[in-house]
């Protein structure tokens, strides 16, 4: 494939960012919105074209004679060459998951660009302050995210990884006059940066031992029983395999270095994907404009952690083969986070927070799915995870954009201000319902298929995992429909004096909702296994479809929905009773298990008070004191010798003479005494 | 006598031609101009001087024969590629000084005697050439004296200001005393070795043991040359003379005279005493450097007059230049030449601003510079760059010159040198304080500025543009230092 279009995919958003960022001030908001949306539309077409070429052209570059999909490096330039081996390259890698991500990112990004034309103005059509800046940042984000998924090496990924972090920071803090938004952006940046510290150390450890940054070299390791189709050369493949084998013995604190490397890299993923205990930034990130939440904090950036694990999945498998725990860590973190986030989501008031916790929980599903991909379930788990990533991006973006429409219409984030909106906003209502049905896993909506595959692979791993994740799936259906009923039913909507009744939003906002609703309904029918599997080998999951599991999960979801309907469809005292029945649990869930308080305690009471304050004292008194002392001495000395410069020529000559004599005399004396 | 020997002195002859052109023009052209007090003067002397000197400078740069090693008068006079380069560098500095001085020289008071200024200046430059190329102490002393005595007349050029006269008297008294001491040292040397040829002295010294008399002689020689470099404690004239002299003369004194003497100092120390008495004179120089840098800094902190302030700053800068003498190797020599080059540009940039303001308003106090950035932003900016460069803040040229001179000194690798460089570094920090005082006065002080907004003369602008360009690019254009290094490596 020619490199022109792939390079343009990256260059377009970057140029748009520079253009809107530098010249946006001189454009009217309307024009810059149109430019941004149109530019993103072009990127969308180019991404679709690239993905189409990758999946359907049948070019030998992308698919071999046995029908296995290959990794293809479209272009790769040496960017920084430190030594012969240590080269950082920037390039464009096409393989099943990066092609899929191109589609996801460009689709959601385009929808959000379109939607923001309506969202970022008030009811009178006046554009928000900084509208051009908003589009510039969106373009920057799109550039960074696209760069992240097509990275050919882990260092390029890290660069773009930080760039998405930075653009996320900029967009969360878009309303920079609001203290809570500023605090949220700071929190998001610091927490993810902290996680990225682990990521960086992991990269360094991994690259030190494997001797490469390149994904193609790293992930082409042969795993027992699997065809190593990604192998660029048998030598490197075996090389990496041997490295893992030789380093399998416990190296540091009971784990091999490779396990450490992978776990540290996964730590970066945990930060970005808001896995417990590094999840605390994501709920707060909802301070950003809602389209941003849809794009960054639901569909694309937050799944970067999943993408990272998927990208390095062969390494995790090899590690597991030699008794490493990296994949177990992924599983456990995912499983605990999924349950935790689902429980918290049941008690939140703010509809965006509910969706945020739901996102955390769903991403955890994907993590679990990768974690349980063992032995004969390699294919299923990995494929299910990516499939869920795809469907989740669609329906969660739909839900967020729907929530945005609600918030825009009502002017509040709390569902207590919404109740009974189904008659006022029919389009939003229907599309939101489709999103809820999809995430709950009702056939034939997309979520059903992807979630069912995840549960199947859990079942294949252990019955415990299966039951655990099914319970979380039931909770998911429950809290989503709790939200749905509380927003659209519960009681009639009360319109306050002097306010208009809420109504459906302009076409720029409803059109993306409708499109995404259609996609969320239908995309489950894509034979995903034909396109995305971990080794490029097509996997026909319908042949392995387990109707029993599907039936059970469907039944569980329906029951959960019915319970939610019983509790929240009309105004009744049942929820209050439930709350009183288990006050402790409710309090903990409502306060997110007090994680924020715990962090505050650790940072303020322990780190700031016990470590930073003494260091600050040392700096203020010892270091500054020394410097001040030096300055004082200098000043005093300067004052003391001022008499030397008397202005009297006789004195000058005297000093000169003494100096000249001393110069020779002292030297003579020294030589005489010591030599 | 074979008169063709004179052809070996190409740069000197060129300079003499420039001198004659200026001299003849000023003496024999009809006096068509009429000064404010009614006296007649020759029009266009400044322009003739600047243009002829510019042609001379360019010719010296471009003509490859300049760089060929040559000698004359039984090796009393020797020139090498390095010496030719140093002379070229000084020529550039002199050209800038001349351009910057035009406004002052053409002023109503000076215009009738500006010819003297140009002639005296060229004579002193001629003396410096001889100092750098002389390999016989007689020639060296002729150079030294002709570089010193006319300077006293130049210092006194501002006849209407009694400070100028006072400075000249102080200068000539201390200079004569210094010359006497210097020659006394030389007579000791002559008595010990029986020759005044550098080569003969060196070879004679190589056969005899060190004596107390010789050490004292070295001390006297060092004092004599240290006087011109204003090394502490031979520097006391500096403050008064720099302050009293006309600013154009001060800037000439501070950069050209100093640069030339520094190079002559290297020649004398290395060629005469270098091989055999390294320990003795290096320890003396070691002490002088520490004293010079520190005391210069300590005095500079307290100054309020810009010229006096730069006088002490130049005392301390001379200490840094001497770091290149003490580390006798190619790299240190290259660092020294580069340091002089950068110092010429940085200091002349500062003096350019001072002159522009003094010519317009007569103000030279640091206090009158308060808030200058609001009335004269461009002048303030030039001054700031000059101060940054003198203080050695990257990316300006001063940073690189300091860096190279420290590296050159450290190349020796002895513990004493590390200590010396450490002391120099600490002093750099102290110097940062007073250089930034100027910047603070110009940029941060909220006071109303006493200097009104004005448009500086074209000549002043040209001078500032050249010097500021030098301050910015000399360090960044690495080939300049590389070529100097290559030159010194060959030499």
Chain A residues with CB inside 8 Å of B299's CB?
638, 641-642, 645
Smallest CA–CA distance from A630 into chain B, residue: B430
- H/E run at residue A593: none
Strand B70-72 vs strand B77-79: parallel, antiparallel, or unpaired? Answer: antiparallel
Nearest CA in chain B to A633: B298
- The tally of domains found in chain B comes to 1
pLDDT at A228: 47
DSSP SS3 for A307:
helix
- Confidence bin at A233 (pLDDT 50/70/90): very low
Query: First and final CA of chain A: distance in angstroms?
Result: 82
Å from A632 to nearest chain B CA? 11
- Higher pLDDT pick, A252 / B459: B459
Q: Tell me the percentage of chain A whose pLDDT exceeds 90.
A: 27
Taking the CA of residue B210 and the nearest CA in chain A, the distance in Å comes to 10
> How many contacts, defined by CB atoms under 8 Å, are there between A and B?
91
Q: Which residues make beta-bridge pairs with B136?
A: B197
Q: Which of A412, A419, A257, A404 is nearest to A350 (CA)?
A: A412
Query: Is B8:B71 a contact under the CB 8 Å cutoff?
Result: yes
Mutation site for A-interface testing, chosen from B172, B182, B218, B219 by largest number of A Cβ within 10 Å: B219
Confidence of residue A157 (pLDDT cuts 50, 70, 90): very high
3-state secondary structure A277-293: CCCCHHHHHHHCCHHHH
Q: Which residues in chain A (642-661) have CB-CB distances under 8 A to chain B?
A: 642, 644-645, 647, 649, 651-653, 655-661
- Which chain B residues are Cβ-neighbours of A641 within 8 angstroms? 295, 298-299
A157-to-A40, A140, A199, A407 alpha-carbon distances in Å: 22, 16, 11, 35
On whether any CB of chain B is under 8 Å from the CB of A667, the answer is yes
Q: What is the extent of the structural domain holding B78?
A: 3-490
Q: For residue A169, what pLDDT is reported?
A: 92
Q: What is the mean pLDDT of residues A318-343?
A: 87
Q: Taking the alpha carbons of A142, A145, A147, A149 in that order, is the dihedral positive or negative?
A: negative
Both structure tokens of A456: 């199947």
A633 touches chain B (CB under 8 A): no
d(CA B410, CA B408): 5
pLDDT of residue A129 exceeding 90: no
Closest by CA position to A302, among listed A345, A279, A278, A272:
A272
Contact residues on chain A for B287, CB-CB shorter than 8 A: 663, 666
* Best residue in B167, B169, B183, B298 for a mutation probing chain A (most A CBs within 10 Å): B298
Task: Select the residue of B173, B181, B433 nearest A660 (Cβ to Cβ).
Answer: B181
Q: Compute the 3-state secondary structure of chain B and give helix, strand, coil in percent, each to the nearest 5.
A: 80, 5, 20
Enumerate the residues of chain A whose CB falls inside 8 A of the CB of residue B239: 645
Chain B residues in contact with A658 (beta carbon < 8 A)? 233
**Chain B closest CA to A659's CA: distance in Å?**
6
pLDDT score of A313 = 86
Closest partner CB to A656 (pick from B234, B283, B302): B234
CB contact under 8 A, A645 and B215: no
Residue A395 has pLDDT above 50, yes or no: yes
Contact B181 A657 (CB under 8 A): yes
Residues in chain A with CB shorter than 8 Å from the CB of B297 are 634
> CA distances (Å), B279 to each of B199, B215, B275, B322, in order?
19, 11, 10, 16
Pairwise pLDDT comparison (A505 vs A661), residue with the higher score: A661
Contacts of A628 in chain B (CB under 8 A): none
For residue A642, list chain B residues with Cβ-Cβ distance below 8 A. 299, 302
H-run or E-run covering A208: helix A179-210
Q: Is A68 helix (H, G, I), strand (E, B) or coil?
A: coil
Nearest C-alpha in A relative to B237: A652
Is residue B333 within 8 Å of B454, Cβ to Cβ?
A: no
Model pLDDT, residue A232 = 43
Q: How far is CA B200 from CA A245, A470, B397, in A?
A: 76, 102, 40
Question: Using CA of residue A356, residue A358, residue A360, residue A363, what is the dihedral sign?
Answer: negative
> Do the beta carbons of residue A116 and residue A136 sit within 8 Å?
no
Determine how β-strand B33-34 pairs with β-strand A87-94: unpaired
Q: How far is A156 from chain B, CA to nearest CA, in Å? A: 30
DSSP element (H, E) containing A75: strand A72-81
Any residues with CB less than 8 A from the CB of A93 and at least 6 apart, and which?
Answer: A71, A72, A73, A74, A150, A151, A152, A215, A216
Nearest by CB to residue B298, choosing from A631, A637, A651, is: A637
Query: Half-sphere exposure of residue A62, counting CA atoms within 13 Å on the CB side?
Result: 22
In angstroms, the Cα distances linking B89 to A201, A276, A295, B344, B399 are 52, 68, 63, 9, 19
DSSP 8-state secondary structure symbol assigned to residue A502:
P
If you search the block for the tokens 């250089």, which residue do you land on?
B435
Largest separation between any pair of C-alpha atoms in chain B = 70
Are A186 and A165 in contact by the 8 Å Cβ rule? The answer is: no
**Of residues B281, B262, B174, B276, the one with CA closest to residue B220:** B281
A101 touches A49 (CB < 8 A) = no
* Beta carbons within 10 angstroms of residue A495's beta carbon: 11
Question: Tokens at residue A450, please?
Answer: 């992807």
pLDDT at A429 over 80: yes
What's the pLDDT at B451?
A: 87
Give the number of other Cβ atoms within 10 Å of residue A657's Cβ: 16
Closest Cα in chain B to A658 = B233
pLDDT score of B52? 95
CA distance B100 to A663: 39
Q: What does the pLDDT average to over A392-406?
A: 90
- Asked if A670 is an interface residue toward chain B (Cβ–Cβ < 8 A), one would say yes
Among chain B residues, the shortest Cα distance to A655 is held by B233
Taking the C-alpha atoms of residue A233 and residue B34, their distance in angstroms, rounded to an integer, is 92
Q: What is the pLDDT of residue A375?
A: 66
* Shortest Cα–Cα distance, A87 to chain B (Å): 27
State the Cα–Cα distance between residues A515 and A520, nearest whole angstrom: 9
DSSP letter for each residue of A324-339 = --HHHHHHHHHHHHHH
A664–B contact, CB cutoff 8 A = yes
Task: Return averaged pLDDT per consecutive 10 residues of chain B, 491 residues in all.
Answer: 82 94 92 86 91 94 88 89 92 95 89 90 95 92 92 91 92 93 93 90 82 86 92 91 93 93 89 73 88 92 91 94 81 89 95 93 89 91 94 90 89 86 91 92 88 89 94 86 81 46
Distance linking the first and last C-alpha atoms of chain B = 30
Asked if A415 contacts A406 with a C-beta cutoff of 8 angstroms, the reply is: no
């Amino acid at each position: 494939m020619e490199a022109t279009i792939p390079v343009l995919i990256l260059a377009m958003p970057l140029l748009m960012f520079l253009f809107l960022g530098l010249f946006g001030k001189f454009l009217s908001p309307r024009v810059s919105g149109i430019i941004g949306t149109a530019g993103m539309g072009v990127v969308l077409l180019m991404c679709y074209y690239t993905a189409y070429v990758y999946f359907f052209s049948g070019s030998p570059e992308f698919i071999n004679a046995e029908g296995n999909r290959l990794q293809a490096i479209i272009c790769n330039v040496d960017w920084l060459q430190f030594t012969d081996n240590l080269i950082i390259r920037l390039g464009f890698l096409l393989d099943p998951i990066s092609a899929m991500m191109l589609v996801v990112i460009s689709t959601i990004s385009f929808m959000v660009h379109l939607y923001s034309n309506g969202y970022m103005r008030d009811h009178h059509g006046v554009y928000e302050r900084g509208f051009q800046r908003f589009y510039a940042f969106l373009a920057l984000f799109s550039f960074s995210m696209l760069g992240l998924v097509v990275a050919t090496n882990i260092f390029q990924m890290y660069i773009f990884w930080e760039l998405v972090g930075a653009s996320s920071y900029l967009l969360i803090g878009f309303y920079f006059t609001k203290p809570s938004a500023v605090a949220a952006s700071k929190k998001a940046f610091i927490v993810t940066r902290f996680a990225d510290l682990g990521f960086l150390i992991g990269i360094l450890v991994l690259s030190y031992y494997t001797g490469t940054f390149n994904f193609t070299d790293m992930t082409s390791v042969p795993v027992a029983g699997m065809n190593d189709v990604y192998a660029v050369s048998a030598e490197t493949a075996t090389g990496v395999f041997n490295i893992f084998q030789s380093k399998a013995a416990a190296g540091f604190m009971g784990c091999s270095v490779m396990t450490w490397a992978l776990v540290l890299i996964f730590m970066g993923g945990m930060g970005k994907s808001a896995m417990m205990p590094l999840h605390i930034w994501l709920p707060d990130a909802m301070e950003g404009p809602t389209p941003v939440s849809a794009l960054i904090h639901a569909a694309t950036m937050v799944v970067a952690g999943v993408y990272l694990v998927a990208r390095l999945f062969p390494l995790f498998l090899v590690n597991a083969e030699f008794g490493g725990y990296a994949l177990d860590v992924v599983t456990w973190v995912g499983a605990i986070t999924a349950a935790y986030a689902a429980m918290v989501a049941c008690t939140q008031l703010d509809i965006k927070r509910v969706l945020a916790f739901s996102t955390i929980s769903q991403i955890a599903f994907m993590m679990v799915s990768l974690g349980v991909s063992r032995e004969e379930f390699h294919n299923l788990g990995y494929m299910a995870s990516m499939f869920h990533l795809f469907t989740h991006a669609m329906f969660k973006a739909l839900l967020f954009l729907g929530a945005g429409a609600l918030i825009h219409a009502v002017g509040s984030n709390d569902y207590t201000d919404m109740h009974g909106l189904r008659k006022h906003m029919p389009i939003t209502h229907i599309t939101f319902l489709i999103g809820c049905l999809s995430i709950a896993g009702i056939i034939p909506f997309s979520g059903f298929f992807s979630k069912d595959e995840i549960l199947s692979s859990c079942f294949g791993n252990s019955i415990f995992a299966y039951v655990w994740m099914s319970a979380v799936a039931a909770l998911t259906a429950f809290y989503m429909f709790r939200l749905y009923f509380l927003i659209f039913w519960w009681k009639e909507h009360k319109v306050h004096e002097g306010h208009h009744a809420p109504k459906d939003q302009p076409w720029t906002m409803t059109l993306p909702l409708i499109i995404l609703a259609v996609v969320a309904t239908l995309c489950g029918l894509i034979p995903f296994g034909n396109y995305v599997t971990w080794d490029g080998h097509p996997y026909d999951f319908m042949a392995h479809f387990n109707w029993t599991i599907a039936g059970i999960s469907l039944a569980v979801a329906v029951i959960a929905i019915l319970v939610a309907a019983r509790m929240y469809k009309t105004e009744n005292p049942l929820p209050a009773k439930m709350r009183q029945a288990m006050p402790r649990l409710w309090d903990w869930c409502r306060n997110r298990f007090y994680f924020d308080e715990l962090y505050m305690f650790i940072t303020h009471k322990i780190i700031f008070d016990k470590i930073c304050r003494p260091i600050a004292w040392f700096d203020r008194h010892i270091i500054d004191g020394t410097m001040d002392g030096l300055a004082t001495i200098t000043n005093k000395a300067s004052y003391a010798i001022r008499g030397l410069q008397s202005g009297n020529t006789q004195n000058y000559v005297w000093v000169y003479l003494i100096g000249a004599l001393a110069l020779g005399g002292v030297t003579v004396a020294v030589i005489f005494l010591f030599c | 006598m074979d008169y063709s020997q004179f052809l070996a002195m190409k740069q000197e002859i060129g300079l003499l031609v420039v001198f004659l052109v200026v001299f003849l023009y000023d003496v024999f052209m009809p006096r068509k101009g009429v000064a404010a007090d009614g006296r007649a003067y020759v029009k266009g002397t400044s322009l003739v001087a600047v243009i002829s000197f510019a042609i001379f400078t360019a010719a010296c740069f471009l003509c490859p024969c300049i760089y060929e090693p040559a000698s004359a008068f039984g090796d009393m006079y020797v020139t090498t590629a390095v010496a030719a380069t140093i002379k070229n560098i000084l020529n550039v500095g002199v050209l800038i000084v001349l351009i910057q001085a035009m406004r002052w020289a053409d002023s109503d008071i000076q215009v009738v005697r500006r010819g003297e200024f140009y002639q005296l200046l060229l004579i002193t430059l001629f003396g410096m050439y001889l100092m750098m190329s002389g390999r016989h102490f007689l020639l060296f002393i002729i150079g030294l004296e002709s570089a010193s005595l006319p300077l006293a007349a130049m210092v006194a050029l501002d006849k209407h200001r009694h400070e100028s006269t006072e400075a000249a008297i102080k200068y000539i008294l201390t200079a004569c005393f210094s010359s006497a001491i210097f020659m006394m040292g030389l007579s000791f040397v002559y008595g010990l070795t029986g020759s005044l040829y550098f080569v003969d002295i060196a070879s004679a010294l190589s056969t005899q043991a060190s004596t107390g008399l010789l050490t004292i002689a070295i001390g006297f020689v060092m004092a004599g040359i240290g006087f011109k470099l204003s090394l502490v404690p031979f520097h006391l004239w500096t403050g008064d003379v720099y302050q009293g002299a006309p600013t154009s003369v001060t800037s000439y004194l501070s950069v050209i005279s100093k640069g030339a003497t520094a190079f002559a100092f290297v020649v004398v120390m290395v060629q005469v005493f270098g091989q055999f008495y390294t320990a003795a004179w290096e320890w003396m120089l070691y002490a002088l450097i520490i004293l010079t840098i520190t005391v210069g800094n300590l005095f500079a902190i307290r100054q309020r007059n810009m010229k006096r302030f730069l006088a002490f700053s130049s005392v301390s800068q001379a200490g840094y230049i001497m770091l290149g003498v003490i580390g006798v190797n190619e790299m240190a020599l290259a660092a020294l030449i580069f340091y002089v080059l950068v110092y010429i540009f940085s200091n002349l940039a500062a003096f350019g601003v001072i002159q522009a303001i003094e010519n317009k308003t007569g103000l030279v106090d640091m206090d009158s510079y308060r808030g200058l950035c609001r009335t004269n932003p461009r002048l303030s900016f030039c001054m700031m760059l000059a101060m940054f460069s003198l203080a050695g803040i990257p990316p300006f040229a001063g940073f690189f010159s300091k860096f190279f001179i420290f590296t050159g000194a450290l190349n020796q690798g002895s513990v004493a040198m590390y200590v010396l460089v450490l002391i120099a570094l600490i002093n750099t920090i102290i110097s940062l304080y007073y250089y930034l005082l100027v910047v603070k006065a110009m940029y941060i002080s909220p006071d109303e500025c006493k200097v009104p907004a004005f448009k500086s003369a074209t000549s002043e602008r040209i001078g500032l543009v050249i010097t500021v360009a030098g301050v910015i690019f000399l360090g960044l254009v690495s080939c300049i230092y590389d070529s100097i290094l290559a030159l010194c490596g060959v030499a």
